[in-house]
Amino acid sequence: MGKLDGQTILVTGAAQGIGKAIAARLAKDGATVVVADINADGGAEAAAEIGNGALAIQCDISDADSVAALFDAIEAQAGTVDTLVNNASIVPFIAWDEVDLAHWNTIIATNLTGTFMATRQATDRMRAKGVQGRVINISSNTIFAGTPNMAAYVAAKAGVVGLTRALATELGQYGIAINAVTPGLIESAGVKASPHNEAFEFVEMLQALKGKGQPEHIADVVAFLASDDARWITGQTLNVDAGMIRH
Ligand code: NAD
Ligand code: 4PL
């Protein structure tokens, strides 16, 4: 008996990193997980590793047609999505002087508009089927810290929290809850391969609890938010960063 038995849960950007850890944890709790990622091979490998009927569907979350096709495929193969985890994002490291309009548009399209499009699809379908579902948005504690070298990213992630707050009101009447999580620096595959990997010492100095943030630290909290234990929570932003930020 798992606390997520019977749920179909879509995790975007789940081929690696935090998304993959979330998908694995939710499957362990009994959910049928859909791994959606722009990286088709990585997504297929992650789904095979995760098991419990996990399926992989390739999707570019910044592309409206791709997102619509993803939800059609899920409906056909696994039924209506009960919980959507908006995790897919680009995590850039770029000085302000290099932030041009092309970069800005790319980051907003994936990290904010992608979350909008997936949420539109998921909640429209929940309402049509009378599913009292959940949406869990992965934001970032950079929206509180004002972390440098990712201005467009920070703006997009703050937008995700705004969307979370607004939609909690509009979707509450259908019994649909929507919350956000703001992770601190996490040693994901993406971070390990980027200059963010050099920031752990500085970030740990600011943390109340010591250690290196791991994808599982976020996955465990998402599993709670997806479970019935969190049924009275909506419109909230849960900061998960070892106490680096107190807000
Ligand atoms: P990562 O780069 O390791 O993984 C991101 C995944 O998203 C990859 O599999 C990638 O292929 C996928 N993706 C990227 N663009 C996509 C698109 N257009 N369509 C579909 N999939 C796409 O990143 P991560 O560190 O695991 O981050 C996961 C989430 O956590 C992101 O929302 C990120 O902003 C957030 N976050 C990360 C940290 C951190 O320190 N790692 C901190 C706070 C928040
Ligand atoms: C504290 O979301 O939250 C670096 C890179 N440092 O992506 C993040 C902190 C990064 C973060 C993040």
Residue with CA at minimum distance from ligand 2 atom 7: 91
Q: Considering the domain delimited by 8-234, tell me its CATH architecture.
A: 3-Layer(aba) Sandwich (3.40)
φ, ψ of residue 56 in degrees (nearest 5): -110, 135
pLDDT attached to residue 63: 99
What pTM was estimated for this model as a whole? 0.99
Instruction: Name the token pair of 5.
Output: 């038995």
Which one of the ligands is nearest to 18 CA? 1
Query: Which ligand 2 atom is nearest residue 203's CA?
Result: 1
Phi/psi at 35 (5° precision): -95, 110
Q: Can you tell me the mean pLDDT for 13-31? A: 99
Q: What ranges in 33-141 are assigned the alpha helix state H?
A: 40-50, 64-78, 101-107, 114-129
pLDDT value at residue 5: 98
Distance (Å, rounded) from C-alpha 76 to C-alpha 32? Answer: 14
The DSSP bridge partners found for residue 91 are none
Residue 245, pLDDT > 90, answer yes
Ligand nearest to the CA of 191: 1
13 in contact with ligand 1, CB cutoff 6 A: yes
DSSP 8-state symbol, 9:
E
Rounded Cα gap, residues 74 and 200, in angstroms: 38
pLDDT score for 1: 79
| Mean pLDDT (whole number) for 225-234 | 98
User: Is residue 102's pLDDT more than 90?
Assistant: yes
Q: Is the CB of 62 under 6 A from ligand 1?
A: yes
Instruction: Give ∠ CA 57-141-161 in degrees, rounded to 5.
Output: 65
Q: Please say whether the beta carbons of 163 and 119 come within 8 A.
A: yes
How close is the Cα of 111 to the center of ligand 2, in Å?
14
Residue 98: per-residue pLDDT: 98
Find out whether 136 and 225 touch, Cβ atoms under 8 Å.
yes
What's the rounded mean pLDDT across residues 23-42?
A: 98
Residues known to be catalytic:
153
Residue type, 172: G
183 forms beta bridges with: 240
Question: Which atom of ligand 2 is nearest the CA belonging to 184?
Answer: 3
pLDDT at residue 247 in the model: 85
| Residues facing residue 239 across a β-bridge | 182
